[in-house]
A and B are shown apart, each in its own frame.
Chain A
């Protein structure tokens, strides 16, 4: 599956480090998402970008900073993270069709970045 790619696949960082996660979608979609998947918790939506504008921020701490330079790329900048931020971070994309009554809303996911904060 190469529709949505994420790099790196694994990342170990200290609490004082600054790192970035990258997501790229090759599907021509116009919406992109960041999710956090922790053990024993449901997937949590973090950020939504429609047409490169952020439309949803589910009260995510400021130590997570998203960036969407164009409709194909999405970044998640990380700084001064906590050990409880260790999780699988999933990127997804979808195509919305303004004007059509029933869009599909299907989201396509990337393989994720396994983040460990030490």
Chain B
């Protein structure tokens, strides 16, 4: 079974500085996807960034970037130039790549496995 571990329950960072959130996972799969989701106090879960395991290049999305180390099974999130609006819970998530046969019958398994989350506070 796959597991996702976020070892930092809470973190804080000064506005405009850089912070890195850590995530490790355990799987025997070779093809999978990794995600970082953000859940602000309003509770709407929002996708921040996605990484396909077959891609060696680290994903970036504006101020957000990841450090994907497949051999080490590590997937950290770096937030540059932190803003007050970045204050939220951040969840790391894993999804295995389902076999094509499943698609014939109507789609993927879609089983996202989440870590417990890291509460990030950005201070002015």
Contacts and interface: CB of A to CB of B under 8 A. Distances in A.
Interface of A: 1, 30-31, 33, 40-43, 45, 48, 50-51, 53, 55-56, 88, 90, 92, 94, 96-99, 102-112
Interface of B: 4, 33, 35, 37, 42-47, 50, 52, 91, 95, 100, 103-117
Contacts, number: 79
Given A90-B45, A109-B45, A42 B4 contact: yes
| A42, A55, A98: residue with the most chain B Cβ atoms closer than 10 Å | A42
Given A42-B91, A56-B110, A98-B107, 9 more contacts: A1-B44, A1-B46, A30-B106, A99-B100, A106-B35, A107-B47, A107-B110, A109-B37, A111-B44
Specify the main secondary structure of chain A where it touches its partner: loop
Contacts of A94: 110
B108 A103 contact: yes
Contacts of B110: 31, 33, 48, 50, 56, 94, 96, 105, 107
